[in-house]
């Protein structure tokens, strides 16, 4: 009787762990989608798309940039949790090649995102310094140009690689429905092609993360052991 009771307790603990991990991943994905989306909107409303379009920042623009700088690290932590647990959901069916690609591209996306935000912080610090006006304009223009290049050209394309490799893993392992795989490929293609045409296209990535997170939450409620 003691062994049977102990076995039931162990089984219950394992079941609780399988419930907690996917739900935490989904909630982390929702947090990333909201925080990243808000940060990108604040950035786009404060910094012009053209790095040479003027350097003056109003007090409200500085406040918005400061808020974006505060939100982005939290969004990055949530994204790491999202990546880790989505990978865990695939489990033993994970392909080593594609898992290496989407894990590496996800980390590169996050690293370049942080670099971009550090440049924004540098712009704010330069604007408040005693450097001459001409030097301030030149430094701010250069920092904005680098920030836009890092975000639009490199970081978002790494996000697209992350999505393509993850979608391929889902397709090959059968651990996601066909509609989610197709949606993943479509959004990734959008990020690969359209980022230079509109900076607002960046918002489709947190939208995709939100879609995956909601799907995980729904499937977890239906069955604790149902794969992503």
| Contact between 36 and 75 (Cβ < 8 Å) | yes
pLDDT (tens digit, 9 = 90+) per residue, 38-75?
998 888 887 766 655 555 666 777 888 889 889 999 99
For the stretch 183-207, pLDDT in tens is: 999 999 888 887 665 567 788 899 9
Which segment of 3-12, 43-52, 143-152, 218-227 scores lowest on mean pLDDT? 3-12
Among 16-20, 51-55, 80-84, the minimum mean pLDDT is found in 16-20
CA atoms within 13 A on the CB side of 113: 29
Mean pLDDT across 127-132:
56
For 195, residues 6+ apart whose C-beta sits below 8 A from its C-beta are 152, 153, 156, 157, 201, 202
Distance CA 228, CA 220 (A): 9
Mean pLDDT in the chain? Answer: 77
Closest by CA position to 104, among listed 115, 114, 112, 92: 112
Cα-based torsion angle of the residue sequence 34, 38, 40, 43 in order, rounded to the nearest 10 degrees: -160
| Lowest mean pLDDT segment, chosen from 16-25, 41-50, 142-151 | 16-25
Q: What is the pLDDT of residue 85?
A: 73
Q: How confident is the model at residue 19 (pLDDT cuts 50, 70, 90)?
A: very low
Split at pLDDT 50, 70, 90, the class of 25 is low
Predicted TM-score (pTM) of the model is: 0.77
């Amino acid at each position: 009787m003691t062994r049977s009771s102990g076995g039931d307790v162990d089984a219950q603990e394992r079941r609780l762990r399988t419930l907690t991990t996917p739900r935490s991943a989904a909630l982390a994905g929702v947090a990333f989608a909201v925080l990243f989306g808000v940060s990108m909107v604040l950035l786009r409303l404060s910094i012009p798309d053209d790095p040479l379009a003027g350097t003056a920042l109003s007090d409200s623009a500085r406040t918005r940039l400061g808020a974006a700088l505060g939100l982005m690290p939290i969004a990055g932590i949530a994204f790491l949790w999202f990546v880790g647990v989505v990978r865990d959901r695939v489990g033993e069916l994970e392909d080593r090649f594609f898992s290496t690609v989407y894990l590496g591209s996800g980390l590169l996306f996050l690293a370049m995102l942080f670099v971009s935000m550090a440049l924004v912080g540098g712009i704010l610090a330069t604007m408040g310094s005693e450097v001459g006006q001409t030097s301030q304009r030149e430094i701010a223009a250069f920092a904005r140009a680098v920030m836009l290049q890092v975000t639009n050209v490199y970081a978002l394309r790494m996000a697209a690689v992350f999505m393509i490799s993850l979608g391929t893993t889902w397709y090959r392992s059968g651990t996601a429905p066909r509609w989610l795989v197709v949606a993943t490929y479509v959004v990734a293609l959008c990020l690969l092609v359209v980022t230079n045409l509109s900076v607002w296209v960046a918002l489709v990535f947190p939208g995709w993360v939100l879609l995956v997170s909601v799907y995980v939450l729904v499937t977890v409620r239906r069955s604790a052991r149902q794969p992503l």
